[in-house]
A and B are shown apart, each in its own frame.
Chain A
Amino acid sequence: MIDFISQPWHWSFSGFMIVVVMFILIFLGKRFGISSSFKAVCSVAGAGKRFEYFRYDWKGHDWLFVFVIGTIIGGAIASTVFASPEPVAISQATISDLAELGISYPSNVEENPGFIPLDLFTFENLATARGIILMVLGGFLIGFGTRWAGGCTSGHAISGLSELQLPSLVAVVGFFIGGLLVTHILYPIIFNI
Chain B
Amino acid sequence: MRLIQFLLTGILFGIVMTKSEAISWFRIQEMFRFQSIHMYGIIGVAVILGALLHFWLKKTSLKNSLGKSFSFKDKPPLYKAALFGGTAFGLGWAMTGACPGPLYVLFGHGYWIIGIIILAAILGAFVYGALKSFLPH
Binding site for B on A (CB under 8 A): 5, 8-9, 11-12, 14-30, 34-35, 37-39, 41-42, 47, 50-54, 62-64, 66-79, 82, 84, 88, 90-91, 93-94, 97-98, 105, 114-117, 121-123, 126, 133-154, 156-168, 170-184, 186-187
Contact = CB atoms under 8 A, between A and B. Distances in A.
Contacts of A14: 16, 19-22, 42, 45
A175 B16 contact: no
A141 B92 contact: yes
Contacts of A5: 15, 19
Contacts of B82: 149-150, 156, 167-168, 170-171, 174
Contact of B122 (A84, A122, A143): A143
A18 B16 contact: yes
Given A75-B17, A116-B106, A167-B75, A139 B6 contact: no
Interface string B7-37: 1111111111111111111111111110111
10 contacts: A37-B100, A69-B10, A79-B109, A94-B26, A105-B26, A148-B81, A162-B47, A171-B86, A174-B90, A182-B32
Given A42-B122, A75-B108, 9 more contacts: A38-B122, A47-B126, A66-B7, A76-B108, A78-B14, A88-B27, A141-B91, A162-B46, A175-B93
Q: For the complex of A and B, list the 9 residue pairs with the smallest distance between their C-beta atoms, beginning with the closest.
A: A74-B14, A70-B10, A178-B90, A174-B86, A75-B108, A15-B45, A143-B124, A162-B50, A148-B85
A73 B13 CA distance: 10
A34 B83 contact: no
A71 B128 contact: no
B90 A123 contact: no
The size bracket of the interface on B is: 35 or more
Contacts of B123: 139-140, 143
A74 B128 contact: no
Nearest to A106: B26
Contacts, number: 493
Contacts of B107: 72, 75
A25 B79 contact: no
A163 B125 CA distance: 25
Nearest to A164: B51
A105 B26 CA distance: 9
B116 A126 contact: yes
A138 B101 contact: no
Contacts of A93: 33, 35
B92 A78 contact: no
Contact of A178 (B41, B53, B89, B129): B89
Nearest to A151: B75
Interface string B28-71: 11111101111101111111111101100100000011101010
Contact of B86 (A20, A62, A116, A145): A145
Of the candidates B13, B72, B84, B116, the one having the most CB atoms from chain A within 10 angstroms of its own CB is: B13
Contacts of B120: 135-140, 142-143
